[in-house]
Amino acid sequence: MITIFNRKELISTFDMRKQGNIRQLLAQNKIDYNVKIINRESPSLFLTRGRTATGTYGKKSETEYVIYVRRIDFEKAAAVVRGCE
C-alpha cells in the first residue's frame, strides 16, 4: 500500500499518452503506483463563477499527471521509465 509517508514522485507530465505508457510498464513489472490527476486550469477554491470567469472557457484543458511509487521501488521504477524514453 502506498501512503504519503512511503511514496516518492516518479514522474510528472502533461502528456496523457506518456503517463499511460508509464503506467502500463509499471504494471507489467509489478510495481505498485498511484496517480494524482490535477486540472491546472480549474478555478480556485474561492472562485465560484466557473471557467467562464477565469478566461479558460474553450481552451484546451491542462491536466497534470503525477505518478508516485513506493520509496523502496523507486530505483527499479526509474530504470523501467528510463528504458521507455
CATH architecture of 7-43+62-83: 2-Layer Sandwich (3.30)
Q: What is the pLDDT of residue 64?
A: 93
Report strand pairing: 63-70 vs 33-39: antiparallel
Q: What is the pLDDT of residue 28?
A: 96
Residue scoring higher pLDDT (41 or 3): 3
Q: What is the pLDDT of residue 72?
A: 97
Residue spans of alpha helices (H) in 8-73: 16-28, 51-54
Cα 57 from chain centre = 23
pTM of the model: 0.77
